[in-house]
């Protein structure tokens, strides 16, 4: 019987590994963003290690991008990966001397790589005007317990301001203020560490919020809180909206339509454009950084109002001949 000595596995550390830890330690990021950046950079540097790439060239980064595309990652995730990697190489170029990197890092190999933001598409079902009105009125009429008052205030607020569910969960009492006769709710937006933006609260929505707060007898700092299953933080849990929205839709007779809480944000954008609001006003309402994101709603609305299918049908089925300039064309196939 032979005795076999187990092979010792030695893990080689890429020279960029300790550097991305330093990079993240000096970068102002929210905890969730910091975790994402760490995972992206660890995955990228692991790729360099596995392919014996000491100092990556532009072609190596492009091959890495194609690799993660081939693995089936979404276009948004690929965009995020490249955004993080491009920022990292910019940092390496700027701080190469203090980091003790060779002069080859004086050239940013990722700078020339284009990273267009993937176009946002609205895949989910949209809430119609009549459905939005039914949600507001039904939740108001059916208020009995304190959580009914909370749910009505939340949904009314989301439909009229386009707030995200995470922004509702983060909202605190101190963020709800009256300034110059106007109620405002300061918002900790997506990817932001502080509540440094605000939405305007209409008088009727303010009344709904005040009716809910009047029934509270607690010192909880959050504007909206759970009243059955309490969370550790004191605020609403990540899964709160799933159950609440499903329950409300059933009460309104709108269950089974594939509607989600985020559809309320889409509705606010669409309704603002329908009433004649400008793209810029809608961008500010939703707090988009780029007008390109807001354009998605304009395109969606334009497509909804387009009657091309009906016009095609009429064109095909009409019996009379069609005259195009000097060409007399019958309805037969050509």
Confidence (pLDDT) at 122: 55
Q: What is the dihedral of CA 67, 71, 74, 76, to 10 degrees?
A: -30
- Between 39 and 192, the more confident residue is 39
Cβ atoms of 275 and 269 closer than 8 Å? no
Q: How many Cα atoms occupy the beta-carbon half-sphere of 250 within 13 Å?
A: 6
Asked if the model's pLDDT at residue 280 lies above 70, the reply is yes
> Are the C-beta atoms of residues 105 and 19 closer than 8 Å to each other?
no
Q: Quick one: pLDDT at residue 246?
A: 93
Per-residue confidence band for 196, with pLDDT thresholds at 50, 70 and 90: confident
- Higher-confidence residue: 126 or 51? 51
> Which pLDDT belongs to residue 326?
46
Q: Which residue has the tokens 């809608």?
A: 282
Give the residue carrying structure tokens 């019958």: 330
pLDDT digits (tens, 9 = 90+) for 133-158: 999 999 999 999 999 999 999 999 99
CA distance 173 to 115: 40
Q: Provide the mean pLDDT of the chain.
A: 83
Taken in order of first residue, the domains within the chain and their CATH numbers are 17-106 (1.10.150.130), 129-305 (1.10.443.10)
Residue with tokens 């998605």: 296
* pLDDT value at 207 more than 80: yes
| pLDDT > 70: percent of the chain | 82
Question: How far apart, in whole angstroms, are the C-alpha atoms of residue 159 and residue 208?
Answer: 13
pLDDT at 331: 42
Q: How would you list the strands of the sheet with 197-201, edge to edge? A: 176-179, 182-187, 197-201
Tens of pLDDT, residue by residue over 308-330, are: 666 766 666 765 444 444 444 44
Pairing mode, if any, of strands 182-187 and 176-179?
antiparallel
48, 17 in Cβ contact below 8 A?
no
CA dihedral sign, ordered 307, 313, 316, 321: negative
Q: Which tokens sit at 123?
A: 């895949």
Give Cβ neighbours of residue 184 (< 8 Å, ≥ 6 apart): 176, 177, 178, 198, 199, 200, 201
pLDDT tens-digit profile of 51-104? 999 999 999 999 999 998 888 777 878 888 999 999 999 999 999 999 999 999
Nearest to 135 by CA among 228, 271, 231: 271
pLDDT of 332 strictly over 50: no
What pLDDT does residue 315 have? 64
Q: What single-letter DSSP state applies at residue 327?
A: E
Report residue 6 as tokens: 């187990």
């Amino acid at each position: 019987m032979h005795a076999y000595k187990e092979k010792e596995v030695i893990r080689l550390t890429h020279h960029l590994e300790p550097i991305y830890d330093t990079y993240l330690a000096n970068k102002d990021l929210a905890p969730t963003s910091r975790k994402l950046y760490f995972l992206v950079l660890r995955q990228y540097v692991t790729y360099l290690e596995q392919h014996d790439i000491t100092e990556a060239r532009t072609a190596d980064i492009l091959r890495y991008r194609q690799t993660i595309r081939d693995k089936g990652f979404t276009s948004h995730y690929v965009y995020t990966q490249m955004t993080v990697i491009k920022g990292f190489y910019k940092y390496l170029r700027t701080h190469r001397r203090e980091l003790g990197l060779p002069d080859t890092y004086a050239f940013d190999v990722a700078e020339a790589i284009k990273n267009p933001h993937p176009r946002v598409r609205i895949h989910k079902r949209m809430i119609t005007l009549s459905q939005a009105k039914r949600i507001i009125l039904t939740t108001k009429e059916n208020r009995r317990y304190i959580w009914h008052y909370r749910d009505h205030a939340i949904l009314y607020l989301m439909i009229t301001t386009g707030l995200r569910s995470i922004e509702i969960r983060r909202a605190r009492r101190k963020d709800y203020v009256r300034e110059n006769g106007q109620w405002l709710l300061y918002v900790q937006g997506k990817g932001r560490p502080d509540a440094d933006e605000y939405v305007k609260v209409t008088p009727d929505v303010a009344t709904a919020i005040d009716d809910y707060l009047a029934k509270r007898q607690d010192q909880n700092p959050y504007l909206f809180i759970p009243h059955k299953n309490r969370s550790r933080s004191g605020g609403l849990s990540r899964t709160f909206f799933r159950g609440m929205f499903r329950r409300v839709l059933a009460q309104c007779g709108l269950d089974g339509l594939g509607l989600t809480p985020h559809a309320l944000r889409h509705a606010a954008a669409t309704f603002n454009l329908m009433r004649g609001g400008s793209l810029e006003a809608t961008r500010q309402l939703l707090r988009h950084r780029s007008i390109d994101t807001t354009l998605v709603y304009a395109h969606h609305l334009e497509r909804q109002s387009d009657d091309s299918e009906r016009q095609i049908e009429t064109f095909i089925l009409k019996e009379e001949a069609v005259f195009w300039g000097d060409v007399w064309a019958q309805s037969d196939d050509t």
